Amino acid sequence: MSDLGGLAVIFDLDGTLVDSEPNYYEATRQMLAGHGVPDFTWAEHERLVGISTLETVTLLRDRHGLRPPVAELLAETNRRYLELARTRTRTYPEMRKFVELLAAEGVPSAVASGSSPEAIEAILAGTGLGAYLRTAVSADEVPRGKPAPDVFLETARRLGAAPADCVVLEDAAPGVAAAHAAGMRCIAVPYVTAQADRFTTADLLLRGGQAEFTARAAYDWLTSSGWRPGR
Protein backbone atom coordinates (compact mmCIF):
# COMPACT_ATOMS: atom_id res chain seq x y z
CA MET A 1 0.00 0.00 0.00
CA SER A 2 1.34 3.43 -0.95
CA ASP A 3 2.10 6.28 1.43
CA LEU A 4 0.28 8.80 -0.74
CA GLY A 5 -3.07 9.00 1.02
CA GLY A 6 -4.56 12.48 0.64
CA LEU A 7 -2.20 13.52 -2.15
CA ALA A 8 -3.44 15.04 -5.41
CA VAL A 9 -1.17 15.57 -8.43
CA ILE A 10 -1.67 18.37 -10.95
CA PHE A 11 0.09 18.22 -14.32
CA ASP A 12 0.84 21.08 -16.61
CA LEU A 13 0.13 19.86 -20.14
CA ASP A 14 2.32 21.48 -22.78
CA GLY A 15 5.99 20.67 -22.39
CA THR A 16 5.30 18.59 -19.27
CA LEU A 17 3.01 15.73 -20.28
CA VAL A 18 3.33 16.20 -24.02
CA ASP A 19 5.81 17.79 -26.39
CA SER A 20 3.35 20.23 -27.89
CA GLU A 21 5.69 23.21 -28.14
CA PRO A 22 6.69 22.42 -31.76
CA ASN A 23 3.00 22.55 -32.65
CA TYR A 24 2.49 25.84 -30.79
CA TYR A 25 5.55 27.30 -32.48
CA GLU A 26 4.36 26.26 -35.93
CA ALA A 27 0.83 27.58 -35.32
CA THR A 28 2.19 30.91 -34.06
CA ARG A 29 4.71 31.13 -36.91
CA GLN A 30 1.97 30.54 -39.48
CA MET A 31 -0.32 33.12 -37.87
CA LEU A 32 2.39 35.78 -37.79
CA ALA A 33 3.52 35.01 -41.34
CA GLY A 34 -0.04 35.49 -42.54
CA HIS A 35 0.02 38.97 -41.02
CA GLY A 36 3.32 40.09 -42.48
CA VAL A 37 5.78 38.86 -39.83
CA PRO A 38 7.82 36.17 -41.61
CA ASP A 39 10.78 35.71 -39.29
CA PHE A 40 9.39 34.38 -35.99
CA THR A 41 12.11 32.08 -34.61
CA TRP A 42 12.20 29.10 -32.28
CA ALA A 43 14.39 31.12 -29.90
CA GLU A 44 11.66 33.76 -29.66
CA HIS A 45 9.10 31.05 -29.02
CA GLU A 46 11.18 29.55 -26.21
CA ARG A 47 11.03 32.83 -24.34
CA LEU A 48 7.22 32.55 -24.33
CA VAL A 49 7.06 29.00 -23.00
CA GLY A 50 4.86 28.79 -19.92
CA ILE A 51 2.38 31.60 -20.52
CA SER A 52 -1.10 31.21 -21.98
CA THR A 53 -1.89 31.37 -25.68
CA LEU A 54 -3.99 34.48 -25.03
CA GLU A 55 -1.09 36.24 -23.32
CA THR A 56 1.30 35.11 -26.08
CA VAL A 57 -0.93 36.48 -28.84
CA THR A 58 -1.51 39.73 -26.95
CA LEU A 59 2.21 40.24 -26.46
CA LEU A 60 3.04 39.45 -30.10
CA ARG A 61 0.27 41.70 -31.39
CA ASP A 62 1.69 44.61 -29.41
CA ARG A 63 5.28 43.81 -30.30
CA HIS A 64 4.65 43.65 -34.04
CA GLY A 65 1.89 46.24 -34.28
CA LEU A 66 -0.65 43.84 -35.77
CA ARG A 67 -3.99 45.40 -36.72
CA PRO A 68 -6.54 42.59 -36.12
CA PRO A 69 -8.05 42.38 -32.61
CA VAL A 70 -6.60 39.94 -30.11
CA ALA A 71 -9.71 37.73 -30.28
CA GLU A 72 -9.28 37.26 -34.04
CA LEU A 73 -5.58 36.45 -33.78
CA LEU A 74 -6.23 34.07 -30.90
CA ALA A 75 -8.93 32.23 -32.82
CA GLU A 76 -6.64 31.87 -35.83
CA THR A 77 -3.73 30.61 -33.73
CA ASN A 78 -5.94 28.12 -31.91
CA ARG A 79 -7.43 26.87 -35.18
CA ARG A 80 -3.99 26.28 -36.66
CA TYR A 81 -2.80 24.66 -33.44
CA LEU A 82 -5.76 22.28 -33.18
CA GLU A 83 -5.13 21.05 -36.72
CA LEU A 84 -1.61 20.07 -35.65
CA ALA A 85 -2.43 18.91 -32.11
CA ARG A 86 -4.96 16.24 -33.07
CA THR A 87 -2.45 14.15 -34.96
CA ARG A 88 1.07 15.36 -34.17
CA THR A 89 1.29 15.50 -30.37
CA ARG A 90 3.82 13.22 -28.69
CA THR A 91 3.43 12.13 -25.08
CA TYR A 92 6.62 11.85 -23.05
CA PRO A 93 6.88 8.09 -22.32
CA GLU A 94 7.97 8.40 -18.69
CA MET A 95 5.24 10.96 -18.00
CA ARG A 96 2.64 8.53 -19.36
CA LYS A 97 4.05 5.86 -17.07
CA PHE A 98 3.82 8.24 -14.12
CA VAL A 99 0.19 9.08 -14.91
CA GLU A 100 -0.62 5.38 -15.12
CA LEU A 101 1.25 4.64 -11.89
CA LEU A 102 -0.65 7.32 -9.99
CA ALA A 103 -3.94 6.03 -11.39
CA ALA A 104 -3.08 2.50 -10.27
CA GLU A 105 -2.41 3.85 -6.76
CA GLY A 106 -5.71 5.74 -6.74
CA VAL A 107 -4.08 9.17 -6.54
CA PRO A 108 -6.40 11.91 -7.90
CA SER A 109 -4.72 13.64 -10.84
CA ALA A 110 -5.66 16.49 -13.15
CA VAL A 111 -4.39 18.89 -15.81
CA ALA A 112 -3.98 22.65 -15.33
CA SER A 113 -2.91 24.37 -18.53
CA GLY A 114 -2.55 27.72 -20.22
CA SER A 115 -4.01 26.20 -23.39
CA SER A 116 -7.61 26.66 -24.46
CA PRO A 117 -10.21 24.10 -23.32
CA GLU A 118 -10.52 22.91 -26.91
CA ALA A 119 -6.76 22.34 -27.21
CA ILE A 120 -6.62 20.48 -23.89
CA GLU A 121 -9.52 18.25 -24.93
CA ALA A 122 -7.96 17.53 -28.33
CA ILE A 123 -4.62 16.52 -26.82
CA LEU A 124 -6.06 14.40 -24.01
CA ALA A 125 -8.32 12.60 -26.49
CA GLY A 126 -5.68 12.19 -29.17
CA THR A 127 -3.01 10.83 -26.79
CA GLY A 128 -5.33 8.69 -24.66
CA LEU A 129 -4.31 10.55 -21.50
CA GLY A 130 -7.92 11.60 -21.01
CA ALA A 131 -8.70 8.10 -19.77
CA TYR A 132 -6.65 8.90 -16.65
CA LEU A 133 -6.91 12.68 -16.39
CA ARG A 134 -10.63 13.39 -16.31
CA THR A 135 -10.32 16.78 -14.62
CA ALA A 136 -8.75 19.54 -16.71
CA VAL A 137 -8.74 23.31 -16.20
CA SER A 138 -7.73 25.94 -18.73
CA ALA A 139 -6.33 29.33 -17.82
CA ASP A 140 -9.15 30.66 -20.01
CA GLU A 141 -11.55 29.61 -17.23
CA VAL A 142 -9.93 31.68 -14.46
CA PRO A 143 -9.23 35.41 -14.05
CA ARG A 144 -5.44 35.21 -14.40
CA GLY A 145 -3.01 32.84 -16.08
CA LYS A 146 0.32 31.63 -14.72
CA PRO A 147 2.39 32.87 -12.86
CA ALA A 148 -0.77 33.74 -10.91
CA PRO A 149 -2.00 30.72 -8.92
CA ASP A 150 -5.61 30.84 -10.18
CA VAL A 151 -5.56 27.82 -12.51
CA PHE A 152 -3.95 25.58 -9.89
CA LEU A 153 -6.31 26.71 -7.15
CA GLU A 154 -9.33 26.05 -9.35
CA THR A 155 -7.99 22.60 -10.25
CA ALA A 156 -7.52 21.75 -6.59
CA ARG A 157 -11.07 22.92 -5.89
CA ARG A 158 -12.46 20.63 -8.59
CA LEU A 159 -10.45 17.71 -7.23
CA GLY A 160 -11.73 18.44 -3.74
CA ALA A 161 -8.14 18.77 -2.51
CA ALA A 162 -6.54 21.37 -0.27
CA PRO A 163 -3.71 23.28 -1.99
CA ALA A 164 -1.27 22.03 0.65
CA ASP A 165 -2.11 18.46 -0.38
CA CYS A 166 -1.26 19.05 -4.05
CA VAL A 167 1.99 18.44 -5.93
CA VAL A 168 2.39 20.12 -9.32
CA LEU A 169 4.54 18.97 -12.25
CA GLU A 170 5.73 21.86 -14.41
CA ASP A 171 8.17 22.57 -17.22
CA ALA A 172 8.23 26.39 -17.19
CA ALA A 173 9.22 29.04 -14.68
CA PRO A 174 5.84 30.84 -14.68
CA GLY A 175 4.15 27.54 -13.78
CA VAL A 176 6.59 26.82 -10.98
CA ALA A 177 5.97 30.31 -9.61
CA ALA A 178 2.21 29.74 -9.86
CA ALA A 179 2.46 26.48 -7.92
CA HIS A 180 4.45 28.21 -5.19
CA ALA A 181 1.94 31.06 -5.04
CA ALA A 182 -0.85 28.48 -4.70
CA GLY A 183 0.86 26.90 -1.68
CA MET A 184 1.61 23.67 -3.54
CA ARG A 185 4.78 21.64 -3.84
CA CYS A 186 6.31 21.37 -7.29
CA ILE A 187 8.42 18.96 -9.33
CA ALA A 188 10.09 21.03 -12.06
CA VAL A 189 11.12 19.38 -15.32
CA PRO A 190 12.43 22.30 -17.42
CA TYR A 191 11.50 22.25 -21.09
CA VAL A 192 14.32 24.71 -21.76
CA THR A 193 17.06 23.22 -19.58
CA ALA A 194 19.25 26.31 -19.93
CA GLN A 195 16.62 28.16 -17.89
CA ALA A 196 16.80 25.80 -14.90
CA ASP A 197 18.26 28.49 -12.65
CA ARG A 198 14.93 30.36 -12.87
CA PHE A 199 13.12 27.56 -11.03
CA THR A 200 14.07 28.81 -7.60
CA THR A 201 10.91 27.77 -5.76
CA ALA A 202 10.73 24.16 -7.03
CA ASP A 203 10.82 21.47 -4.35
CA LEU A 204 12.42 19.01 -6.77
CA LEU A 205 14.31 20.36 -9.79
CA LEU A 206 15.39 17.98 -12.55
CA ARG A 207 17.89 20.18 -14.35
CA GLY A 208 18.18 17.75 -17.25
CA GLY A 209 14.49 18.07 -18.07
CA GLN A 210 12.63 15.14 -19.60
CA ALA A 211 15.91 13.28 -20.19
CA GLU A 212 16.31 13.09 -16.41
CA PHE A 213 12.69 12.36 -15.46
CA THR A 214 11.52 8.83 -14.69
CA ALA A 215 8.17 7.73 -13.35
CA ARG A 216 9.73 5.54 -10.69
CA ALA A 217 12.07 8.26 -9.40
CA ALA A 218 9.21 10.76 -9.17
CA TYR A 219 7.06 8.24 -7.33
CA ASP A 220 9.90 7.37 -4.98
CA TRP A 221 10.45 11.07 -4.24
CA LEU A 222 6.81 11.45 -3.31
CA THR A 223 6.85 8.45 -1.00
CA SER A 224 10.26 9.05 0.57
CA SER A 225 10.32 12.82 0.97
CA GLY A 226 7.13 13.09 2.96
CA TRP A 227 5.31 15.26 0.43
CA ARG A 228 3.01 16.90 2.98
CA PRO A 229 4.27 20.34 4.06
CA GLY A 230 5.75 20.21 7.54
CA ARG A 231 6.37 16.47 7.52
**Residues annotated as catalytic (active site), given as ranges:** 12
**Helix boundaries (H) for the chain:** 21-34, 42-46, 53-64, 70-88, 93-104, 117-127, 150-159, 173-181, 215-225
Secondary structure in 3-state letters for 81-109: HHHHHHHHCEECHHHHHHHHHHHHCCCCE
Ordered DSSP codes for 32-43: HHHTT-----HH
